[in-house]
Structures are given as structure tokens and as C-alpha cells.
């Protein structure tokens, strides 16, 4: 799952840049998330117990605190020199705290905060706090014994809900609701085995309960996990619930405890369109003659990552005039898949390499006999080329029997909530986003 998640997040970033030209600030990793403590709010608090106002762990009341942005051409040295810090101190920090922060890595556009002590009309900087990212900061304690240390802002998980009807694409629907477009990629990940995201129909609908990570209560630093979802596709409900038991057992299951995962992904890439299906006979656009097409073509922009649709071992990674750059993966004694026309291979791709389902093995191109960038996906069963969409492919393991009762209890609350969520019925496709307290 880890690798797939990584592949998806890389792909997500690519798609975002492609589609809307913005870069997504990297989601705070799950490991660093901390649940904000609630409770105690109803107790009456005596004045002495009111905690002092603190920013970056420093007492705000004792200083004049001003936030700035690093201007282009500004350096750590000239910022501090302009704020009453002697060159010797600056040099000391630059030389002795490189392991914590190399001051040459100060970047224009990032913010920093100065904590000044005001005495007899003179101002001296006592602390400088630099923020290389929305979550992380570095404190330079400029007092007598200089110290430099790292800090991390508290990331608060907020549970959110969004639902909508799809008119053109899931991406467009989510964006129109003000939800993060990154949610599209998370949905594609959860449903990679059960729903063709390139065959979503008008009238399909979704309800999602997910976590979003915030700092300072207002700044979103990314989508967390999808907790539960109901994707209505072709008149059917596709439920998914995230369930975790202990440290290693975590996955998405449906309302009956069946895994959403299958031994094979629906397609070697997400968000593409099928440009040519498996057919015993078709007119070949390059060879200009009728020829069988024993693969499924997915058109996608050059450079789109191509994933292995199942776990397996690479048995060919090479070039032929027809196939261009291609990779062939043997999954077991029964199934083998092949991916053609790559612009290039993923790093380290070679015969014998073990690949995981969802692992990126190459990138879309048009090498070999191809009219445009696409991947031709070929599928063998018992040595014979077949149409993967016509196969009844094996499912992965359902929930462990010993967890079933616990799972059903856990799932029923989430399912109830999903079923209660309203779907906009009219064509306006109105916004339905709410924070759950």
C-alpha cells in the first residue's frame, strides 16, 4: 500500500499541475498529525490559570512581535544585522547550527517572525523564527547563549463531509464545491479496483467523509484520509470504510466486510480515456490495414505514470519497433500483463525486478507504432491474450473473520451517517459541505 500511496501522491501532484497549474503544498505526513485535545472547556477557569499567549512556543506578551516575508536578495545575515544582532553572533549561528538549519537555505517568499525586546526606546531582536513550510519552523534564540531548534505547528484533523452529483467529472464536481481537488486522487485510490474513473457516468454521485489537516485552525495543509464513502455508479452503491486494527491491519472494506481491492487494478493509469478497446479485428491507423487489436489503449498525456496492475515480476523491459519501450510483468502462473509505447521506464526497471500493484513502471509516450501518446495494455491468461474487462478477476482477501463483528459495529455508524447525507437532486448541484463537530 505504501508504494501505491506514494505513486498516487506523485501522480496527484502531476495531475494538479497539469489541470490547474498550481502546486499542492505537501500534505503533512500522517505520522506527524496530532489530535488536538478537547475537553475542559466547560470548567470555569480562574484568571491565574489562563495560559500566556504563545506563538512558536514563545511568550508573545513579553515582546514586540512582527511577521515579515523574506524579500528576494535578503539573507539571514542582513536581516539580523538590520535588527541589532552583531556579526559575531550571526557567524556563530551559521557555523555551529548547520545540522539544524543551514542559514543559506533561507528562501525569498517564506515568512519569518521577529520577537523584539523594547527597552528605553531601543529594540533588540531576541528571537527570530523562520518558517520553511506551513507546518515546520526554526527558532533562533538570539539571547546570551545562542540556541537554534526546530519546531512543528500543531496539525489539527478536522472531519469533513462532501457530497455531489457528477455532471462531467468528479474533479470538476469537487472543485465546484470548494473541496480540495486532491480529494479526487484519494477517491481514485480507494476505488481503483471497483470503479473506472474514466467511465464515470453523468448522474453518478458521491458522498465522502474525510479528514482534512489544518494548522492555526484555518490554514489547510492537505487532505488526510478518506474515512468512509459511498460512490453511486450506474445505479449501484459502492461503499467503502477505512478500518484499522492494531498497527499493520488497515484497509478499505465494503458494507459486508469484503475488500475493495482486487488482484488487478482496473487500468494501468488513472484519469485517462480508453481510445481503443480490445478487439479481434480493427483498422490499424499506422499500418493502414485491418488487424486484430489484442490490447486496450489508454490515451493520456506524455509522461503520465504507468502502474503495474498487479504484484509480479518483470520478465521483459526493452524496445521493439512495434512496441516501442515496453515492460512485461508476470503475476503468477496464470496471468501476465504488458505495457507498450512508454516514453521511458521507471528508475531501476529491469528483468527480475519485483513490482507491487500500483507501482510506477514507466511513463506514457508514443514510441514504436503509435499515433499519439498512449499506453497499450495487454493481458494474458494461461498464455493466451484476452480482454481483461471480460475476465472475472480474483478478489483479494475479505476482512479477517476474527475482526468481522468488530468491523460491522464500527462500520454501521459511518454507514448510517453516509445514508443520512443528502444529495442535491436538482441540476444546480448545490454545495453541501459541512464540518462535523
Cβ proximity to Zn ion, 24 vs 376, nearer residue: 376
Adjacent-strand bridge partners of 148:
140
Select the span of 31-39, 213-221, 372-380, 429-437 touching Zn ion (CB under 5 A). 372-380
Among 212, 230, 297, 359, binds Zn ion (CB under 5 A): 297
Write the CA distances from 3 to 8, 241, 274, 307, 373, integer angstroms: 8, 21, 25, 11, 25
Select the span of 4-12, 13-21, 128-136, 376-384 touching Zn ion (CB under 5 A). 376-384
Q: Is 324 in the site for Zn ion (CB under 5 A)?
A: no
- Cβ atoms within 10 Å of 54's Cβ, excluding its own: 10
Q: Which of the residues 381 through 410 are near Zn ion (CB under 5 A)? A: none
Cβ proximity to Zn ion, 137 vs 326, nearer residue: 326
Cβ proximity to Zn ion, 160 vs 341, nearer residue: 341
Q: Are 58 and 142 in contact (CB under 8 A)?
A: no
HSE-CB for 282 with a 13 A CA cutoff:
14
Select the span of 14-22, 115-123, 289-297, 403-411 touching Zn ion (CB under 5 A). 289-297
The least CB distance from residue 367 to Zn ion, in Å, is 13
**Burial state string for 274-287 with b = 16 or more CB within 10 A and e = fewer than 16:** bebebeeeeeeeee
Cβ proximity to Zn ion, 291 vs 330, nearer residue: 291
Ranked by CB distance to Zn ion, the top (closest) residue is: 376
The least CB distance from residue 339 to Zn ion, in Å, is 10
Q: Which of the residues 116 through 135 are near Zn ion (CB under 5 A)? A: none
Select the span of 183-191, 330-338, 360-368, 370-378 touching Zn ion (CB under 5 A). 370-378
What backbone phi and psi angles, to 5 degrees, belong to 164? -175, 165
The least CB distance from residue 370 to Zn ion, in Å, is 8
The residue whose grid cell reads 457516468 is 201
* 375 closest CA partner among 276, 277, 297, 265: 297
Select the span of 112-120, 282-290, 293-301, 396-404 touching Zn ion (CB under 5 A). 293-301
* Residues that contact Zn ion, how many (by CB under 5 A): 3
Q: Which of the residues 80 through 109 are near Zn ion (CB under 5 A)? A: none
Q: If DSSP codes are grouped into helix, strand and coil, which group holds residue 360?
A: strand
Select the span of 247-255, 297-305, 346-354, 417-425 touching Zn ion (CB under 5 A). 297-305
The least CB distance from residue 376 to Zn ion, in Å, is 3
Among 295, 324, 358, 373, binds Zn ion (CB under 5 A): 295
HSE-CB for 425 with a 13 A CA cutoff:
1
Q: Burial of 163 by CB count in 10 Å (0-12 exposed, 13-18 middle, 19+ buried)?
A: buried
Cβ proximity to Zn ion, 92 vs 199, nearer residue: 199
Among 190, 192, 376, 399, binds Zn ion (CB under 5 A): 376
HSE-CB for 81 with a 13 A CA cutoff:
8
* 344 closest CA partner among 330, 331, 326: 326
Q: At what angle do helices 182-190 and 2-20 cross, to 10 degrees?
A: 140
What is the spatial distance between Cα 76 and Cα 92, in angstroms, rounded to a whole number? Answer: 12
Cβ proximity to Zn ion, 229 vs 375, nearer residue: 375
The least CB distance from residue 276 to Zn ion, in Å, is 6
The residue whose grid cell reads 478487439 is 279
Sites of contact with Zn ion (CB under 5 A): 295, 297, 376
Amino acid at each position: 500500500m505504501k508504494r501505491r500511496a506514494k505513486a498516487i501522491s506523485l501522480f496527484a501532484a502531476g495531475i494538479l499541475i497539469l489541470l490547474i497549474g498550481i502546486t499542492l503544498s505537501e500534505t503533512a505526513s500522517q505520522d506527524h498529525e496530532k489530535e488536538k485535545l478537547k475537553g475542559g472547556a466547560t470548567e470555569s477557569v480562574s484568571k491565574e490559570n489562563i495560559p500566556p499567549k504563545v506563538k512558536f512556543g514563545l511568550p508573545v506578551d513579553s515582546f514586540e512581535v512582527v511577521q515579515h516575508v523574506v524579500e528576494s536578495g535578503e539573507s539571514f545575515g542582513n536581516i539580523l544585522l538590520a535588527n541589532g544582532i552583531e556579526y559575531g553572533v550571526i557567524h556563530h549561528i551559521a557555523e555551529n547550527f548547520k545540522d539544524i538549519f543551514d542559514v543559506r537555505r533561507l528562501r525569498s517568499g517564506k515568512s519569518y517572525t521577529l520577537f523584539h525586546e523594547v527597552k528605553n526606546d531601543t529594540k533588540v531582536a531576541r528571537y527570530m523564527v523562520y518558517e520553511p513550510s506551513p507546518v515546520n519552523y526554526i527558532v533562533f534564540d538570539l539571547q546570551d547563549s545562542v540556541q537554534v531548534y526546530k519546531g512543528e505547528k500543531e496539525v489539527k484533523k478536522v472531519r469533513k463531509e462532501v457530497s455531489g452529483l457528477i455532471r462531467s467529472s468528479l474533479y470538476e464536481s469537487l472543485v465546484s464545491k470548494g473541496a480540495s481537488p486532491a480529494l479526487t486522487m484519494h477517491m481514485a485510490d480507494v476505488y481503483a479496483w471497483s470503479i473506472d474513473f474514466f467511465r464515470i457516468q453523468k448522474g453518478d454521485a458521491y458522498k465522502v467523509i474525510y479528514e482534512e489537516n489544518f494548522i492555526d485552525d484555518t490554514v489547510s495543509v492537505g487532505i488526510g484520509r478518506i474515512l468512509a464513502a459511498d460512490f453511486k455508479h450506474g445505479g449501484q452503491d459502492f461503499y467503502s470504510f477505512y478500518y484499522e486494527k492494531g498497527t499493520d491491519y488497515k484497509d478499505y472494506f465494503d458494507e459486508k466486510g469484503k475488500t475493495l481491492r482486487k488482484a488487478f487494478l482496473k487500468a494501468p493509469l488513472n484519469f485517462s480515456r480508453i481510445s481503443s478497446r480490445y478487439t479481434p479485428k480493427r483498422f490499424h491507423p499506422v499500418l493502414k490495414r485491418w488487424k486484430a487489436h489484442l490490447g486496450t489503449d489508454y490515451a493520456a498525456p506524455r509522461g503520465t505514470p504507468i502502474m503495474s496492475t498487479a504484484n509480479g515480476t518483470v520478465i521483459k523491459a526493452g524496445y521493439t519497433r512495434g512496441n516501442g519501450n515496453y515492460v512485461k510483468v508476470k503475476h503468477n502462473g496464470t496471468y501476465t500483463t504488458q505495457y507498450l509505447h512508454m516514453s521511458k521506464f521507471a528508475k531501476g526497471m529491469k528483468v527480475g525486478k519485483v513490482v507491487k500493484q500500483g507501482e510506477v513502471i514507466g511513463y506514457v509516450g508514443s514510441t514504436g507504432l503509435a499515433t499519439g501518446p498512449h499506453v497499450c495494455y495487454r493481458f494474458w491468461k494461461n498464455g493466451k491474450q484476452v480482454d481483461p474487462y471480460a475476465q472475472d478477476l480474483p478478489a483479494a482477501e475479505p476482512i479477517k473473520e476474527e475482526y468481522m463483528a468488530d468491523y460491522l459495529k464500527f462500520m454501521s455508524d459511518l454507514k448510517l451517517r453516509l445514508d443520512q447525507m443528502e444529495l442535491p437532486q436538482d441540476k444546480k448541484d448545490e454545495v453541501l459541505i459541512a464540518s462535523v463537530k
